[in-house]
């Protein structure tokens, strides 16, 4: 075996399809991702790429498992094949075609585009798993305990409620756990005893997993549609509706940890090890701003960056539309932070007509990026006043979208470029581009 190749740490590698790069040694994974970023951004004359490596295993604070009955027992796993996890492969590859292990011809593909909707049908294989090495150990232990309890729960074996998915979310130190059980039902409302039955299940589960603090049921239609567009209805709940997530600051900062309220179902970055470094990189750019009067945090989520920015700026405007993150953001209760429930596009359409101009804008869009109109509005805002928005911090989970948007952000150049390996063993990557504007 060459130095670049490794024995995959997961026994489900290939069949599962979720971790496409396990057959590469971790340094080789980083090299390939860095080469990909440098190649994509070569036309923008970027500075030296700064790499932020992660522990390659046990990093995920959240997983969502598919539930299926196999040989009369409820099992947890994933929908097999990489297409089920990351979408159809794009034409772009990570450094060419790798030698493939038997039975896994697609594992070196690179997915940079927004995945298409997953249509669950009879030809999508369900892969029961016994472990998931990239998940925090508590998540695997809790999933195993859930199955032992659920397989003895008669109310989950009826036609009225069919277990479909289980989501598990833990704090960085694995001291607290929240779960969401997705059930399919043909009925508008679940049976009357569902709340009581669910409470019994949760109490039994907590006896085995004392870290469990809260749980909820999400109801899905009985006919399976695309998981990416299905809107679950809230069902019975047990315990608090979310987690207080503590994010330690870097040892060199001497600051108190950042505290976040993360409701069940709200987006939060999954790498529990690299989050402090990611937030520190963004806030270091903020601290360098000569004018700390106003910062905008667009696509703010529950306020991952907003809370840190509030330590550096007199005022922070955080914009988010998705629930329940928007409500959590509005309940932050920091005097310098103003939460705006809006799409970023609508916020900028209004802002371009107003007088407030930020000295820093943080952007953390979804995989499809900013888009032409948002880029155009940002440029208009920057040009409307000589000192407006001299710095943009663009946090991107799609290198292709980043390249497209950089081409539309006229007047900005890359001052710093960072690669955060938030998703070791997979082909996904996170980049942070700090952009400055010539006056």
List of domains in the chain: 41-55+247-253+263-437 (3.40.50.150), 62-78+125-239 (2.40.50.1070)
CA dist 51 and 434 (Å) reads 14
What is the number of helices (H) and of strands (E) in the chain? 10, 17
The structure's pTM equals 0.87
Spell out where 133-231 has E strands: 162-170, 177-185, 212-221
pLDDT at 309: 94
Phi then psi for residue 102, to 5 deg, are -55, 135
pLDDT at 87: 32
Mean pLDDT in consecutive groups of 10 residues from the start of the chain, 439 residues: 82 86 94 96 94 97 95 91 36 26 31 33 76 96 97 90 96 97 91 95 98 97 70 93 90 80 95 96 83 92 95 94 95 93 97 88 95 95 79 95 96 95 95 88
Phi then psi for residue 77, to 5 deg, are -175, -155
The number of C-alpha atoms within 13 Å of 87 and in the hemisphere containing its C-beta is 15
Phi then psi for residue 72, to 5 deg, are 80, 5
Phi then psi for residue 219, to 5 deg, are -100, 130
CA dist 165 and 136 (Å) reads 18
pLDDT at 118: 33
**Each residue of 196-228: b (16+ CB within 10 Å) or e?**
ebbeebbebbbeebebbbbbbbbbbeeeeeebe
pLDDT at 229: 66
pLDDT at 120: 40
């Amino acid at each position: 075996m060459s130095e670049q190749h490794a024995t995959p740490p997961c026994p489900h590698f290939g069949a599962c399809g979720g971790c496409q790069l396990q057959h590469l040694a971790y340094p080789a994974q980083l090299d390939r991702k860095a080469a990909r970023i440098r190649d994509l951004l070569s036309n923008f004359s970027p500075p030296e790429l700064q790499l932020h490596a992660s522990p390659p295993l046990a990093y995920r604070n959240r997983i969502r498992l598919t539930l299926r009955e196999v040989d009369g027992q409820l099992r947890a796993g994933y929908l097999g094949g990489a297409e089920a996890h990351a979408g159809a492969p794009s034409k772009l590859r990570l450094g060419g075609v790798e030698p493939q292990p038997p039975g896994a011809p697609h594992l070196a593909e690179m997915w940079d585009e927004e995945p298409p909707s997953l249509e669950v049908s009879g030809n999508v294989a369900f892969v029961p798993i016994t472990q998931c090495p990239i998940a925090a150990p508590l998540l695997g232990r809790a999933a195993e305990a859930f199955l032992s309890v659920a397989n003895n729960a008669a109310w989950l074996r009826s036609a009225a409620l069919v277990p479909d998915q289980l989501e598990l979310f833990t704090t960085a130190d694995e001291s607290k756990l929240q779960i969401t059980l997705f059930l399919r039902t043909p009925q508008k409302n679940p049976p009357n005893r569902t709340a009581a039955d669910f409470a019994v299940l949760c109490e039994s589960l907590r006896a085995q997993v004392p870290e469990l603090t809260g749980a909820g049921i999400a109801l899905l239609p009985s006919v399976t549609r695309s998981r990416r567009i299905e809107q679950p209805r809230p069902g019975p709940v047990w315990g608090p509706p979310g987690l207080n997530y503590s994010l330690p600051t870097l040892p060199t900062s001497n600051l108190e940890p950042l505290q976040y309220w993360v409701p069940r179902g709200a987006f939060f970055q999954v790498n529990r090890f690299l989050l402090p470094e990611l937030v520190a990189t963004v806030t270091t750019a903020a601290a360098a701003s000569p004018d700390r009067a106003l910062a905008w945090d667009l696509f703010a989520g529950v306020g991952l960056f907003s809370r840190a920015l509030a330590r550096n700026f007199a005022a922070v405007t955080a914009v988010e539309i998705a629930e329940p993150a928007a409500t959590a953001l509005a309940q932050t209760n920091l005097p310098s932070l103003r939460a705006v429930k809006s799409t970023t596009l609508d916020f900028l359409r209004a802002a371009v007509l107003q007088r407030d101009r930020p000295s820093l804008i943080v952007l953390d869009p979804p995989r499809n990026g900013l888009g032409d109109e948002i880029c155009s509005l940002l440029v208009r805002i920057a040009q409307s006043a000589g000192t407006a928005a001299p710095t943009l911090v663009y946090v991107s989970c799609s290198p292709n979208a980043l390249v497209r948007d950089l081409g539309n952000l006229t007047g900005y150049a890359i001052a710093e470029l960072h690669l955060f390996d938030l998703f070791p063993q997979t082909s996904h990557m996170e980049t942070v581009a700090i952009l400055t504007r010539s006056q």
